[in-house]
């Protein structure tokens, strides 16, 4: 491999670094659904997890390797500390993938060496070299990251990179682990590496960055101008703290401004060819899927995928757009797959029409999933005359959500109004199959429902986020409820969609409680998990 590639490699770490943000924890089936969608989106590499972190992580990497890591599919990658046991677990989990990569890392900044690793530079250099060689004994595709590279001494960084490339690293990744650098500084780091690491032409330079100062995307674009050719990013920019560089922002910046970036990649300025392999029309759908399954809402003003990203409120802007879209729009909403919300199906539509439209929208459901989704579709169609693509997407995302099916909502009934005390009755089926009913009074109908549910489930928790969004306009719209709750130091999310927002609220809450309940049952202590994560 050489850095002279004339396109940008997209390395998606939604399922590894993205999943590390509080409450975003996904189960194995949800990770698989996202991985399949990432493959449809066209990412080059999926970092599927950190195989050594837990048996669940191992299984997720292995399953994704088997099902998504096909001949024409993306490279599947597992993270591994520069420790033999981590590398062995990664290699084992990745075995089913046709194209696999081990991504191993160790910190190189003095502050990490002194306080976290308690090791000298010489020791770190030797470990990095030895562990890259060890990873190389399992597979040819090996990535090495000097963690906290952006705050590392450049001379030491050059030395580590030279030695790890010589040991077999085919990609060297430069992380701004704490989101501290500015664009010109980050660009200069990449330039320094190209000028000072003698064997740098034998590896791809990658960048990884967090968004603590809101600069991750800008830093990456500057890195591209200076020779970086792989970008590590996440859908919706989710990730540790303020998140990672956002995939959709990077891809669309490189697409919309390709004439600006072309010369940096050795292309003629006027070339219209895409700079990445991403199918941009899959961006919106992928964003919605990740948001629904992780419970991480997308802020309305988020670039590219926020609800307002293509809305024009000001009269002057509206006037301009009506006369010529280009007056105030730099890209067409259709480019990211935000279609015109077609009304496609209704109450009389049959299973075939339903299946066909879902296929056209890129959903591949198993027969069981299709049957479940079709039942939901019929229920919705009974209440709502026209079913749009966005409704279909909400129904399917809701059905494929894999919150453990422990408690099940059987009945929700509320009584409320201006002269009534909001009262709710709920019946839940317990994991043992028993039906339990309870009732409660609350400050409003949702509060009453949650209090009644708490009386049945009886796991103390604190509700930290509750949000209702309508999928489409209109009084009969499907409402999507996303909630996050905290138990001790851990956050759990739940999501549900229904034309009745009280029912959706109950379902979303029970989904989150089921995740909490299942974590308690497997005794997976939050501290143990986060100690393994990086
Ligand atoms: O932020 C970071 O430094 C990381 C490394 C493991 C690449 O996530
Ligand atoms: Zn990171």
Q: Are residues 382 and 269 part of one domain?
A: no
Dist CA 300 CA 281 (whole Å): 20
Average pLDDT of 440-452? 96
Which residues surround the ion ligand 2 when the cut-off is CB under 5 Å? 17
> Residue 403: its pLDDT value, please?
64
Ligand 2 center–CA 13 separation, angstroms: 9
Higher pLDDT, 194 or 533: 194
Quote the pLDDT of residue 401: 64
Closest ligand 1 atom number to CA of residue 209: 1
Q: Over the stretch 154-180, which tens digit does the pLDDT of each residue have?
A: 999 999 999 999 999 999 999 999 999
CA distance 266 to 20: 36
Mutate to test the pocket of ligand 1, among 53, 82, 177 (most ligand atoms within 8 A of CB): 177
Within-domain flag for 504? yes
Indicate if the pLDDT at residue 152 is higher than 50: yes
Q: Is residue 344 part of a domain?
A: no
Q: Which two tokens stand for residue 60?
A: 């997720």
| Res. 314 pLDDT band, cuts 50 70 90 | confident
Mean predicted confidence (pLDDT) in 420-437: 94
Same domain, 121 and 16: yes
Is residue 468, in this structure, part of any structural domain at all? yes
Tell me, yes or no, whether 152 and 269 share the same domain: yes
Residue 302 has pLDDT above 70, yes or no: yes
Q: Which ligand has an atom closest to residue 103 CA? A: 1
Q: Which atom of ligand 1 is nearest to the CA of 244?
A: 1
- Among 400, 416, 431, the domain boundary falls at 400
248 inside domain: yes
Domain boundary among 367, 400, 433: 400
Q: Examine the domain organization and report whether 395 and 412 are in the same domain.
A: no
Question: How wide is the angle at C-alpha 77 spanned by C-alphas 75 and 81, nearest 5°?
Answer: 160
- Do 154 and 272 lie in one domain? The reply is yes
User: Of 264, 294, 324, which closes a domain?
Assistant: 294
pLDDT at 526 over 50: no
What is the average pLDDT across 410-427?
95
Taking alpha carbons only, the member of 277, 186, 258 closest to residue 226 is 186
Here the CATH number for the domain that contains residue 456 is: 3.30.160.270
| 189-228: pLDDT as tens digits | 999 999 999 999 999 999 999 999 999 999 999 999 999 9
Is residue 315 in a domain? no
Ligand 1 atom with the shortest distance to the CA of 232: 7
> How many structural domains comprise the chain?
3
Query: Of all atoms in ligand 1, which is nearest to the CA of residue 173?
Result: 7
* 323 pLDDT tier (thresholds 50, 70, 90): confident
The residue whose CA has the least distance to atom 5 of ligand 1 is: 147
State the residue for tokens 């690793």.
117
Does the pLDDT value for residue 108 go beyond 50? Answer: yes
Which pLDDT band, with edges at 50, 70 and 90, does 523 fall under?
low
Q: Are residues 93 and 169 in the same domain?
A: yes
Pocket test for ligand 1, best of 12, 145, 239 (most atoms within 8 A of CB): 145
Residue 2 lies in a domain: no
Confidence class for position 2, pLDDT limits 50, 70, 90: very low
81 and 157, same domain (yes or no) = yes
The percent of residues in the chain predicted with pLDDT above 90, rounded, is 66
* Any domain includes 310: no
pLDDT for 39-71, tens place per residue? Answer: 999 999 999 999 999 999 999 999 999 999 999
pLDDT of residue 402: 61
Torsion angles phi and psi, residue 499, rounded to 5: -70, -20
324 falls within a domain: no
Q: What is the pTM of this model?
A: 0.87
Q: Are residues 396 and 445 in the same domain?
A: no
Contacts of 391 (CB under 8 A, 6+ apart): 380, 384, 471, 472, 478
Examine the domain organization and report whether 268 and 141 are in the same domain. Answer: yes
Residues 369 and 412 in one domain: no
Calculate the average pLDDT of the chain. 91
Q: Please give the residue range of the domain that contains residue 395.
A: 351-400
pLDDT at 341 (0 to 100): 55
pLDDT in tens, 3-35: 567 899 999 999 999 998 877 878 898 899 999
Mean pLDDT of 512-534: 64
Helix (H, G, I), strand (E, B) or coil at 491: strand
Which CATH number characterizes residue 166's domain?
A: 3.20.20.70
Task: Name residue, tokens 């809101």.
Answer: 214
Residue 342: predicted pLDDT? 64
Same domain, yes or no: 122 and 145? yes
User: Is residue 434 domain-shared with residue 288, that is, in the same domain?
Assistant: no
pLDDT digits (tens, 9 = 90+) for 370-408: 888 898 889 888 888 788 887 888 888 777 666 677 899
């Amino acid at each position: 491999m050489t850095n002279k590639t004339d396109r940008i490699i997209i390395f998606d770490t939604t399922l590894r670094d993205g999943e590390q943000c509080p409450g975003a924890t996904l189960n194995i089936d949800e990770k698989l659904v996202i991985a399949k969608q990432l493959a449809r989106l066209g990412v080059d590499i999926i970092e599927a997890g950190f195989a050594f972190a837990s048996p669940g992580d191992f299984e997720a990497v292995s399953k994704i390797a088997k099902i998504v890591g096909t001949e024409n599919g993306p490279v599947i990658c597992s993270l591994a500390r520069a420790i033999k046991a981590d590398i062995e677990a990664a290699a084992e989990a990745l075995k089913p993938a046709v194209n696999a990569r081990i991504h191993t890392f160790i910190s190189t900044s003095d502050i990490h060496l002194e306080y976290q690793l308690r090791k000298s530079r010489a020791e770190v250099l030797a470990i990095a070299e030895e562990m890259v060689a060890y990873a190389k004994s399992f597979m040819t595709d090996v990535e090495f990251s000097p963690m906290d590279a952006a705050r590392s001494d450049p001379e030491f960084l050059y030395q580590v990179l030279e030695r790890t490339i010589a040991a077999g690293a085919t990609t060297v990744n430069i992380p701004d682990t704490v989101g501290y650098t500015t664009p010109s500084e980050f660009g200069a780091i990449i330039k320094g590496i190209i000028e000072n690491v003698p064997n740098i032409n034998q590896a791809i330079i990658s960048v990884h960055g967090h968004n603590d100062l809101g600069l991750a995307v800008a830093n990456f674009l500057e890195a591209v101008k200076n020779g970086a050719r792989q970008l590590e990013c996440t859908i919706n920019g989710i990730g540790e703290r303020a998140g990672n560089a956002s995939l959709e922002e990077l891809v669309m910046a490189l697409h919309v401004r390709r004439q600006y970036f072309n010369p940096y990649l050795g292309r003629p300025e006027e070339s219209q060819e895409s700079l990445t392999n991403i199918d941009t029309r899959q961006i919106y759908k992928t964003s919605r899927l990740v948001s629904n399954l992780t419970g991480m809402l997308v802020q309305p003003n988020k670039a590219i995928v926020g609800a307002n990203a293509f809305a024009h409120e000001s009269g002057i802007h509206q006037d301009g757009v009506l006369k010529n879209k280009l007056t105030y729009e730099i890209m067409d909403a259709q480019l990211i797959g935000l279609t015109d919300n077609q009304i496609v199906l209704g109450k009389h539509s049959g299973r075939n029409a339903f299946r066909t439209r879902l296929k056209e929208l890129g959903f591949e459901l198993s027969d069981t999933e299709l049957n479940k989704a079709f039942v939901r579709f019929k229920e919705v169609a009974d209440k709502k005359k026209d079913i749009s693509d966005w409704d279909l997407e909400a129904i399917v995302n809701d059905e494929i959500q894999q919150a453990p099916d422990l408690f099940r909502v059987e009945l929700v009934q509320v009584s409320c109004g201006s002269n009534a005390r909001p009262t709710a009755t709920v019946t839940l089926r317990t994991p043992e199959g028993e039906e339990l009913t309870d009732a409660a009074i609350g400050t409003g109908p949702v509060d009453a429902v949650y209090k009644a549910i708490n009386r049945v489930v009886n796991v103390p928790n604190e509700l930290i986020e509750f949000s209702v969004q309508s999928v489409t306009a209109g009084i009969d719209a499907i409402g999507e409820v996303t909630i996050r709750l905290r138990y001790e130091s851990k956050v759990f999310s739940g999501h549900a969609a229904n034309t009745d927002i009280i029912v959706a609220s109950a379902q979303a809450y029970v989904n989150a409680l089921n995740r909490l309940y299942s974590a308690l049952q497997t005794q997976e202590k939050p501290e143990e998990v986060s100690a393994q994560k990086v």
